[in-house]
Amino acid sequence: MKITRRQLRRLIRENFAGSYFQDDEGRKFSVEQVVNFAKKNQERYFIPQFPLDFIKHDLKYWQGDEERMMRADVRYPLLVIAEDGCLSVADGLNRMYKAVNVLNMTHIDVYLVPKEDIL
């Protein structure tokens, strides 16, 4: 399934505006800004069909909002941050939960961004 630019803009506006993630040092990062950065540099950061086994350890942080999870659109890539050899899902836990536990997917599209690239 492909997602159109119009759908992508709507998803960002509705789901990511005002969303942040934080690192262990207390620095806040805007999900919207990092996703836009990754999209502009898609050839470097976009990885289609990334193995979920590498990141599903982060499902322990899923907050259990089943209604929101069921509305999640798995066509939109997860935002994964790489730091010191570790991968963390910065945005997309509901999409990942749905992909793994509802749709039985083994791979999903991601933006994989090294943390040093957004500092």
In this prediction, residue 72 carries a pLDDT of 94
Q: Give pTM, 2 decimals.
A: 0.85
Per-residue pLDDT tens, the chain, 119 aa: give them: 566 777 766 666 665 567 899 998 999 999 999 999 999 999 999 999 999 999 999 999 999 999 999 999 999 999 999 999 999 999 999 999 999 999 999 999 999 999 999 99
3-state secondary structure 44-102: HHEEEEEEHHHCHHHHHHCCCCHHHHHHCCCCCCEEEEEECCEEEEEECHHHHHHHHHH
In this prediction, residue 7 carries a pLDDT of 74
In this prediction, residue 4 carries a pLDDT of 76
